[in-house]
Amino acid sequence: MEIKHLSLKLLILFSCIVYTYGNATDCVYTIYVETGNIPLAGTRSNLTLFLSDSTKAQLPIVNLKDWGLMGSAHNYFGHGEVDLFAGKGPCLRGPVCSIIIVLDGFDNWYCQSIEITTVGSGKSCSQKKFEVKKWLDVIKGSAVILQDECSDDDDDSVVGNDPLERSK
């Protein structure tokens, strides 16, 4: 747990450095996906994630494996494993507080948690962990989960102090 936390901190720092060479309108998203440590929790299916802020602005990440940082030979979403993903996309207006998870494939998946860190130039870093703890069942047709925590008023998802929205 200690090491995981440290590597996240390093990755945020790394993202900040890489970011300065990127397009100034983009943000860097780092995503940890934890698969449940229960029988048959793992899946070969693909995962699409929609990130939203409190204004309902939405960023789709189609086939999250394309953002995978675990190597091309890695089997993503394995039983009891934590997989790491990162990529850049347009910044949302505020911190991510709602996600939609879509499982696309032929076998089910138990999602334990999804943690998202957002970094952008001139914006505060934000971090949010969604404790999902649900089956996505492609056979029963419940392969889509909306987890909206935008109305929860906890401020600890914002790491920095600067307001996220800057004038254009």
* Interaction site with ligand NAG (CB under 6 A): 23-25, 44-46, 63, 104-105
Closer by beta carbon to ligand NAG, 25 or else 75: 25
* Closest distance to ligand NAG from the beta carbon of 152 (Å): 32
In this complex, which beta carbon is closest to ligand NAG, that of residue 44 or of residue 74?
44
Question: Which has the closest alpha carbon to 30: 93, 86, 103?
Answer: 86
Please provide residue 108's backbone torsions phi and psi, each rounded to the nearest 5 degrees.
-80, 165
Q: How far is the CB of 55 from ligand NAG (least distance, A)?
A: 19
Residue number, 70 or 150, with CB nearest to ligand NAG:
70
Shortest Å, Cβ 58 to ligand NAG: 17
Residue 157 CB, nearest distance to ligand NAG (Å)?
26
Nearer to ligand NAG, 98 or 109 (CB): 109
